[in-house]
Structure 1
């Protein structure tokens, strides 16, 4: 049985980032995961510019180090294909120059990205990494903190502070922190790998297709190294239940018969199976800490409601969790009231963005408006540049909430 001041449960991007930031502060931690790395994680595999920024915050040389990975494909933007078939291309940086600009984003299988972070962890003497250790239950200790129990109910670890970063299905989040799964704030997704998909973008733009007969869901194609592609679908759980949608059937139907996909997949080969996963969306503010614990990433329901991106927000929460650990150890205060500093820091950074993404998600209820925006932007370079900048400028993105933005589009 191990005793520690700081235990991090889950060694994905949120947990690994927290461990690395703690190491930078000279704070030791115990990082525990039930898997042995490298391990697969069902995900869209897209890594935004926010991920690159968080890598840089861990260490200035990490983005460059990651760019040298053979399994990391640089990506320069997103194609949004509207319900009417209009294509809105949004580069991560307007007028980018591939020869001289560093990529703002990447596409890399989580198998490789998560292992890249774990390799950084393994170089830090401040972090003790335990792989292949499954935690089955939790008990509060009389003196404060938690005991982490194995399947035989024996105490494996005792800790003053527990950073919970073990994903969307976290038993701690559900049973201890009491974060309930709400269909209106939860997305069901499927992911598959294909090779031989035709028509992938030369600059590795990721594709988000919003087909009329699949709204309010979306279909994606993300190019990967070696001519492979991550292909998948996502839809709010409430819509899946209401419409009685079989996501797997719908995904295969679109690939086999939709005019925009049929030709592109005619020679494509499915690699392995089609896997499902759940995404707890950050479209609602929740309490993400309590006495002696913090919830990070998917375990804290911090996934972007519009794009489904979770990696960057997990890393951001990991960074702020490390800062809160520092404050707690300094003050020797692990109470719910003191831990609120973590909630405040995370939501100060993310809430405005999450709230705007929720508004963009609701635009899917007005497909004709989506078509109009895409059509206008494809012909108007000023509007296209504005929308591109919106992805990096939250104040500009606020305009998407204003009726005047759409009135000008409709009547100009």
Structure 2
């Protein structure tokens, strides 16, 4: 039996980030995952500047090791395709620490293994893989976690739940049930030799008429590979009666412009589906002696589908609060409410804005109008470039009057 102040369930980006932050704060922890690593994780594979900024500030040597590898492609901007086919390229001039790219695309099998290797560098993190917890028992001083065979038991005062979108603890104990209006279904496939990929490392978002407010994506990877996928909000998907896999196949094989780019492309492996619990609905993400991190806390961005950045950010917040809880010997639900409050302040406003934009992008004519405003409007292009790091500018994008003003400014 293991006795610890802090146990983390799930060793993906959220759990690994929590453990690394705790270690740098001088707090030992136990990190548990049901899988062995390296292991694949179905995802869009995009890594935002949130992740790299947090890791660099934690220890610049972590990102130095990351940049010394060849598991990532740099992201310097985005290509947006409106339903009418209009293409708008938005560069990201904002550089991260040490002048590196503001974002990356890296297969999760590689990036998650990188984080596990970083965890293994820290002697105060006990890493236990291949341990599937089947029992959660509430005790006076915290939680008891146990495998089905009873051979592995952990008693902890604080449980950090970071075991992803299908977290049993989140669903059955914390009460975060799936809500199709705040959930997305997505598919991911790996292709080689997709045509006309950006030489400047731009990722692509295609807003196709029949799947808005969802989108089709192409994210370039190293070695001529690309992460290709399609996602849509679950309730809208059901309302439209679409088969996501058939829709993805149609786009790749028959879409008037996209199919040409796939004529020489090769599908590597299978098409895999995954669910995204969106952060567009406020939910309680803590309770007596526990907090929910990342996808387990339904913290996926409602418009981009990004989960890695919010998982790492919420993990850092959980670790900083855990330090105070240990010092105060207080892991009560009342004390841990501070976690909900800070996550809402730091991430909640972003996700609320994304939800507003998601609803705006549900109308193809609106997306076409927005693309028309941006095309050839240098002032608008500068605004979009700066919005990557400026929340106040992103807030403007959800206001119709902003687009009307920019339209007339552009005409002049």
- Counterpart in 1 of 2:104? 106
- What's the Cα RMSD here? 1.5
Deviation at 1:408, TM superposition (A): 1.5
Structure 2 Cα separation of the partners of residues 212 and 299 of structure 1: 32
Q: Is the 8 A contact 1:147 1:155 kept in 2?
A: no
- Per-residue deviation, residues 62-103 of structure 1 (Å, max 9, x unmatched): 223212211111111111111111112122226x89xx9421
Structure 2 Cα separation of the partners of residues 112 and 378 of structure 1: 37
The correspondence of residues 73-112 of structure 1 with structure 2, limited to 5 A, is: 73-93=73-93, 101-112=99-110
Deviation at 1:153, TM superposition (A): 5.7
Q: Is the 8 A contact 2:22 2:319 kept in 1?
A: yes
The correspondence of residues 238-253 of structure 1 with structure 2, limited to 5 A, is: 238-253=235-250
The correspondence of residues 60-71 of structure 1 with structure 2, limited to 5 A, is: 60-71=60-71
Structure 1, 391-400 or 178-187: larger mean CA deviation: 391-400
Aligned counterpart in structure 1 of residue 340 of structure 2, from 343, 358, 361: 343
- Structure 2 unaligned blocks of 5 or more: none
The correspondence of residues 103-252 of structure 1 with structure 2, limited to 5 A, is: 103-141=101-139, 143-152=140-149, 156-252=153-249
* 3-state secondary structure, aligned to 1:365: coil
- Per-residue deviation, residues 112-168 of structure 1 (Å, max 9, x unmatched): 111111111101011000011111121111x23111121236662111110000000
Deviation at 1:294, TM superposition (A): 0.4
* 3-state secondary structure, aligned to 1:159: strand
Structure 1 Cα separation of the partners of residues 224 and 122 of structure 2: 35
- Counterpart in 2 of 1:382? 379
Structure 2 Cα separation of the partners of residues 248 and 390 of structure 1: 33
TM-score normalised by the chain length of structure 2 = 0.96
Deviation at 1:327, TM superposition (A): 0.8
Structure 2 Cα separation of the partners of residues 74 and 218 of structure 1: 22
- Counterpart in 2 of 1:319? 316
Q: Is the 8 A contact 2:131 2:152 kept in 1?
A: no
- Per-residue deviation, residues 283-308 of structure 1 (Å, max 9, x unmatched): 11111100000000000011110100
- Counterpart in 2 of 1:363? 360
Q: Is the 8 A contact 1:298 1:310 kept in 2?
A: yes
- Counterpart in 2 of 1:44? 44
Please identify runs of 4+ aligned residues in structure 1 that moved more than 3 A. Answer: 152-155, 409-412
Aligned counterpart in structure 2 of residue 302 of structure 1, from 292, 299, 310: 299
* 3-state secondary structure, aligned to 2:79: strand
Q: Is the 8 A contact 2:380 2:406 kept in 1?
A: no
Residues 1:28 and 1:327: Cα distance change in structure 2 (over 3 Å) = same
- Structure 1 unaligned blocks of 5 or more: none
* 3-state secondary structure, aligned to 2:89: strand
Deviation at 1:60, TM superposition (A): 2.1
Deviation at 1:403, TM superposition (A): 2.6
Deviation at 1:401, TM superposition (A): 2.5
Structure 2 Cα separation of the partners of residues 62 and 2 of structure 1: 29
Deviation at 1:110, TM superposition (A): 0.6
- Counterpart in 1 of 2:392? 395
Structure 1, 289-298 or 399-408: larger mean CA deviation: 399-408
Structure 1 Cα separation of the partners of residues 115 and 322 of structure 2: 20
Structure 1, 366-375 or 80-89: larger mean CA deviation: 366-375
Structure 2 Cα separation of the partners of residues 153 and 127 of structure 1: 22
- Per-residue deviation, residues 30-65 of structure 1 (Å, max 9, x unmatched): 000011111110000011111111111221232232
- In the alignment of these two chains, the number of paired residues is 408
Deviation at 1:4, TM superposition (A): 1.3
* 3-state secondary structure, aligned to 1:316: helix
* 3-state secondary structure, aligned to 1:406: helix
Q: Is the 8 A contact 1:373 1:409 kept in 2?
A: no
* 3-state secondary structure, aligned to 1:263: helix
Aligned counterpart in structure 1 of residue 281 of structure 2, from 278, 281, 284: 284
* 3-state secondary structure, aligned to 1:254: helix
Q: Is the 8 A contact 1:54 1:312 kept in 2?
A: no
Q: Is the 8 A contact 1:137 1:153 kept in 2?
A: no
